[in-house]
Amino acid sequence: MFSLSTLRTSLVKTGLVNRRAIARILSTLLCCLAVAIPQFSTLGGPYAFLVITVKELIFAIQENLAQQFEGTVLNVMGALFAIGISTVAKCLANLPWTSPVMARTIHAIFLVFITFVGE
């Protein structure tokens, strides 16, 4: 019988995979199963696929609690900043004096700004 604990132990001992990588792969697999199994995916509604994104942004595996907290706070702040910038773009694009071409241009400029500032 194939044992996952035996596989994990052998991979860690040989140095091919460390514990953090195994934890990341296992948590991603569990999230994928939660999305794929209909009984669990109905809890998330039409946005159940976003569970993997939330897992990567908020529950990233770190060395200690301080690093985990710092990463979570920075990710949340970045997400709120991007939402704020997107809201400003939407407001500017919906002003009465903007033409449809200008509205699309405003959206494109802000999208490029968020993309390059976010990375």
For a pLDDT cut of 90, what percent of the chain falls above it? 0
Question: First vs last Cα of the chain: how many Å apart?
Answer: 45
Please tell me the predicted confidence (pLDDT) of residue 60: 65
If pLDDT is split at 50, 70 and 90, which confidence band does 61 have?
low
Over residues 88-104, the pLDDT tens digits come to 988 988 888 878 888 88
Q: Is the pTM of this model over 0.75?
A: no
- Give the C-alpha separation, 63 to 103, whole Å: 45
Over residues 5-42, the pLDDT tens digits come to 776 677 667 666 677 777 777 878 888 888 888 887 88
